[in-house]
Amino acid sequence: MAARIHGGAGAGAATALSTFNPKKLVAPPSRTNLPARNSKRYIVSAAAGSDGSKKSLLRVRHSQKLIANAAVATKAEESSAPTGTGHELLLFEALQEGLEEEMDRDPHVCVMGEDVGHYGGSYKVTKGLADKFGDLRVLDTPICENAFTGMGIGAAMTGLRPVIEGMNMGFLLLAFNQISNNCGMLHYTSGGQFTIPVVIRGPGGVGRQLGAEHSQRLESYFQSIPGIQMVACSTPYNAKGLMKAAIRSENPVILFEHVLLYNLKEKIPDEEYICNLEEAEMVRPGEHITILTYSRMRYHVMQAAKTLVNKGYDPEVIDIRSLKPFDLHTIGNSVKKTHRVLIVEECMRTGGIGASLTAAINENFHDYLDAPVMCLSSQDVPTPYAGTLEEWTVVQPAQIVTAVEQLCQ
Amino acid sequence: MALSRLSSRSTTLFQPLAAAFPTTLRRHISTDTTPITVETSLPFTSHLVEPPSRAVETSSSELLSFFRDMALMRRMEIAADSLYKAKLIRGFCHLYDGQEAVAIGMEAAITRRDAIITSYRDHCTFLGRGGGIFEAFSELMGRTTGCSKGKGGSMHFYKKDASFYGGHGIVGAQAPLGCGLAFAQKYSKEEAVTFTLYGDGAANQGQLFEALNIAALWDLPAVLVCENNHYGMGTAEWRSAKSPAYFKRGDYVPGLKVDGMDALAVKQACKFAKEHALKNGPIILEMDTYRYHGHSMSDPGSTYRTRDEISGVRQVRDPIDRVRKLIISHDIATEKELKDMEKEVRKEVDAAVAQAKESPIPEPSDLFTNIYVKGFGSESFGADRKELRATLP
């Protein structure tokens, strides 16, 4: 098994360990001279970005990826033997754990948002924190997104590390000016004098008949802002890891959670760990086609993958996790192996993450593609209330299966 | 040298103008600090609070430093005007001449640990916080020696070590930021306050009232200062605000209206406000001031107001003239000495401009620095990471 320097955090490379998990994999014949990629699940390395320290332990996951059933927010299957003892929890609890650990570790970390304190958070991510840390560190704000986002950014200019919660990502549109001009650009326009180590987080995405205004995908709007990083979590494991990494990062990070994924259950390690902010996650290695996805669509993809495997296909599924910047290293490796790419996203067709990713792959890996990059996105419509219509707005597993069959002809 | 002929009335120790390129506002240290009491031009008008007294304590050294610093600011802005017309400064350039008393008076009342955040009319505030005219001109001309390395421009002057947080282009966006600074000061128990400056135009922004609510709710040590120069670009205050009594618009937050052309009144008000904010939470100061230039260099400034109005204010209320008269009437210096000081200032500014003109322009690689902190090697190329960390076969 090869120890590989993984293209991880920009600051300070973190070396990665890989272990071979015999349960998982058939070693397929590689068409190229790629080193044995199949020996590695995926590598999670310390986000050394924030203070250059490599204190966080490196973890390697062994257990099988979660495969959600038809209703997304249900208990996940456990399969292979977990690493240590570990403990099981739901995704929102994992976020809370990560947040609490970071608040314990660094007194500069504080939380602000609507109903995060006494109410415990509208999705219970900040439950119990106000009792533990007090009202100043877990601040219940009035309903003024522009002002409290700006406030968090101003506080960050002096050295505090606020975690700003948007009760729903869509509400952060009201704070767009603060996020774009102040959060993203202050480090640059001040010639490097100020850093803005904020984390802006909240649930977004299409839920269950929440209506158009509460089903927005803000990652499409924020992706152009220079100076910010965007990550999307999808499992309890990476939720906790990304939360911790985002808090430790010196850059402003927007952490996209999904309304429907908060009740996912998984066993995560007891030991402290961090996920790399700029790294994609290999969910299922394969040979025939690369499927790139993130957040909730990962589960639709994995569901489709079951069908595809039955039909004889071998898709490689990558959860891109890092929406800005893209992990072109992992993606590129995969493209060079499979030569076909399917992007499955929840953003709308126009101007979404998939659109940017398509352009990036075409630009960088054009020579390796045997077929045009296909992107399945949500329809360019306001999300309707009616259940059936809402279902048709987003990409469903059946469409993914059809697309793969089409690409792999 | 004119300086040496100063009488011994005030045993001033003017620092000799030997330094080729003076960079900071030099406070002329006078050994004469015996207090002089001066009455402000107007009494303070207040809302929900007892106004401070009209009698302000100052000293000859302070008055002289006021004069010199304001003269420097005035000269800098006028030089910026010429540079803009010579197309060495591009984009937007918002000049502060006429409003110098606000910056100067505020500095006299606070320390460098108190934070100041303001809008895009920030050149003189930057100077007041200890910024150098060379850094200012370099930044205006987009050189690497500028305070933001040439990447910010006129609207983005910052000085972190002096707690000057800028420099913001979007009207009113600095109000929530200022609340955040005050929040951080309260969080870290710093016993310092934040002065958040905004204009009469920004006073109608919703985010200002959001910020006010937050500051009042949590007793943040925030002083909100409305620099009311009576025009929001081309729109007079009576045409844009239903209630132009900006100091009262805080409703539950106390306010004070101050003659912003009187540096001593500003000093008194800021001192009062700082004490108030540390004990009782936010307070609004409305500085009644005036700008001689238009909103920016693209605005002649005379289409929405008469030239008579401008010259009238200049004759009757000019802040530098007020201090000049005070100095002369208190026999601190003669008219000629003050004129010599102004000449000296002019030389300083000219020298700084000349040096800034010679400064290097940024390298192309500077385009990508300081986008992220320690990010992605040392550069960022858009959404994709350009650098692949391992070679692929």
Q: Using CA atoms in the order B102, B108, B112, B114, what is the torsion angle rounded to 10 degrees?
A: -60
Structure confidence at residue B186 (pLDDT)? 95
Rounded to an integer, the average pLDDT of A316-321 is: 96
Q: In chain A, where are the structural domains located?
A: 87-269, 281-408
Predicted local confidence at residue A50, as pLDDT: 39
- Residue B5: pLDDT band (50, 70, 90) is very low
The alpha carbon dihedral of B318, B320, B324, B326 has a sign of positive
B282 touches chain A (CB under 8 A): no
Do A87-269 and A281-408 come out as alike in CATH topology?
A: yes
pLDDT, mean over chain A? 83
pLDDT above 60: residue B259: yes
pLDDT of residue A66: 32
Tell me which chain A residue has its CA closest to the CA of residue B145. A191
Report CA dihedral (A115, A117, A118, A122) to the nearest 10 degrees: 40
What is the ipTM for the molecules in this complex?
0.81
State the pLDDT at residue B32. Answer: 75
Q: Residue A332: its chain B contacts at CB < 8 A?
A: 388, 392
Cα(A304)–Cα(A101) distance, integer angstroms: 36
Alpha carbon distance A135, A112 (integer Å): 10
Q: What does the pLDDT read at residue A279?
A: 87
- The whole-number average pLDDT for the span A168-172 is 94
What is the per-residue pLDDT for B374?
67
Residue A81 has pLDDT above 70, yes or no: no
Question: Residues of A with CB below 8 A from B392's CB?
Answer: 34, 332-333, 336
In DSSP terms, B285 is beta-bridged to: B225, B256
Preferred mutation among B113, B372, B380 to probe A, highest tally of A CBs within 10 A? B372
> Chain A closest CA to B85's CA: distance in Å?
24
- What is the pLDDT, as a whole number, of residue B367? 85
- Partner-chain contact B175 A147, CB within 8 Å: yes
| A153 → chain B, closest CA residue | B177
Taking each helix axis from N to C terminus, what angle separates A145-158 and B174-187, rounded to the nearest 10 degrees? 50
Give how far B113 is from chain A: nearest CA, Å. Answer: 11
Name the more confident of B369 and B77. Answer: B77
CB contact under 8 A, A154 and B176: yes
- For chain A, percent of residues with pLDDT exceeding 70: 79
Higher pLDDT, B184 or A22: B184
Contact B374 A33 (CB under 8 A): no
Query: Is residue B34 very low, low, confident or very high in pLDDT (cuts 50, 70, 90)?
Result: confident
**Architecture (CATH level 2) of domain A87-269:** 3-Layer(aba) Sandwich (3.40)
pLDDT-based confidence at residue B183 (cuts at 50, 70, 90): very high
Asked if the C-beta of B374 comes within 8 angstroms of chain A's C-beta atoms, the answer is yes
**Cβ–Cβ pairs < 8 A, chains A and B:** 206
Q: What is the pLDDT of residue B372?
A: 84
Which residue blocks in A106-175 are alpha helix, DSSP H?
A: 129-133, 145-158
CB A219 within 8 A of CB A256: yes
pLDDT at A60: 37
Q: Who contacts B103 (Cβ-Cβ below 8 Å, separation ≥6)?
A: B73, B96, B124, B125, B127, B128
Closest listed residue to residue A95, CA positions, set A217, A247, A298, A289: A247
Out of B156, B178, B218, the one facing A189 most closely (by C-beta) is: B156
pLDDT tens-digit readout, B360-388? 999 988 888 888 886 554 333 333 333 33
**Higher pLDDT residue, A14 or A347?**
A347
Average pLDDT over residues B261-281: 96
Interface list for B 149-208 with A (CB within 8 A): 149-153, 156, 158-160, 165-170, 173, 175-181, 183-188, 206-207
CATH of domain A281-408: 3.40.50.920
* A172 contacts A149 by C-beta, under 8 angstroms: yes
Give percent above pLDDT 90 in chain B. Answer: 80
Query: pLDDT digits over A214-255, tens only?
Result: 999 999 999 999 999 999 999 999 999 999 999 999 999 999
pLDDT(A357) > 90: yes
The neighbouring-strand residues paired with A44 are A59
From the list B117, B152, B184, the residue facing A191 with the nearest CB is B152
Q: What is the mean pLDDT of residues A99-124?
A: 94
Residue A277's SS3 state is: coil
- Gap between the Cα atoms of B373 and A179, Å rounded: 17
Nearest to A10 among B183, B218, B374 (CB): B374
Query: Which pLDDT belongs to residue B368?
Result: 81
Q: Hey, are the CB atoms on B390 and A150 less than 8 Å from each other?
A: no
Set of chain A residues whose Cβ sits within 8 Å of the Cβ of B92? none
Please give the span between the terminal C-alpha atoms of chain B, in angstroms, as a whole number. Answer: 76
A163 φ, ψ (degrees, to nearest 5): -110, 110
Residues of chain A positioned with their CB less than 8 A from the CB of B377: 10
Mean pLDDT on B166-191: 94
Question: What is the tens place of the pLDDT at every residue in A140-157?
Answer: 999 999 999 999 999 999
Task: Indicate the range of A89-98, A165-174, B366-375 predicted with least confidence.
Answer: B366-375
Q: Please answer yes or no on whether B374 and A49 come within 8 Å at the CB atom.
A: yes
Give the pLDDT band of residue A83 (cuts 50, 70, 90): low
Query: Cβ contacts (< 8 Å) between B211 and chain A: which residues?
Result: 147, 150-151
Shortest distance between the Cα of B165 and any Cα of chain A, in A, equals: 8
Nearest to A146 among B149, B176, B384 (CB): B176
State the nearest Cα–Cα gap between A193 and chain B, in angstroms: 6
Instruction: Tell me how close the Cα of B245 comes to any Cα of chain A, in angstroms.
Output: 23
Which domains does chain B carry? Answer: 35-362 (3.40.50.970), 368-392 (no CATH)
CA dihedral sign, ordered B240, B245, B251, B256:
positive
Q: Which of B120, B170, B196, B210 to mutate to test the interface with A (most CBs of A within 10 A)?
A: B210
The confidence band for B136, taking pLDDT boundaries of 50, 70 and 90, is very high
Q: Is the pLDDT of residue A94 over 70?
A: yes
Higher local confidence (pLDDT), B4 or B66: B66
> Distance (Å, rounded) from C-alpha B95 to C-alpha B74?
9
B229 to chain A, closest Cα gap in Å: 25
Q: What is the C-alpha to C-alpha distance for residues B73 and B102, in angstroms, rounded to an integer? A: 12
Instruction: Looking at the complex, report in whole angstroms how far the Cα of residue B195 sits from the nearest Cα belonging to chain A.
Output: 13
B129 close contact with A: CB closer than 8 A: no
Residues of A identified as active-site: 145, 214
> Residues of B with CB below 8 A from A278's CB?
376, 385
| A147:B170 CB<8 A | no
From chain B, pick out residues whose CB is under 8 angstroms from the CB of A187.
Answer: 370-373
A4, A34, A191 ranked by CB distance to B148: nearest: A191
Q: Give contacts of A221 with chain B, Cβ < 8 Å.
A: none
Q: Give me the mean pLDDT over the A165-170 stretch.
A: 94
Instruction: Report the residue of A193, A353, A356, A358 to disrupt the B interface, i.e. the one with the largest count of B CBs within 10 Å.
Output: A193
Enumerate residues 231 to 250 of chain B having a beta carbon within 8 A of any beta carbon in chain A. Answer: none
* Contact by Cβ (8 Å): A230, A219: yes
Which helix (H) or strand (E) element contains residue B95? none
The alpha carbon of residue B92 is apart from the nearest alpha carbon of chain A, in Å, by 15
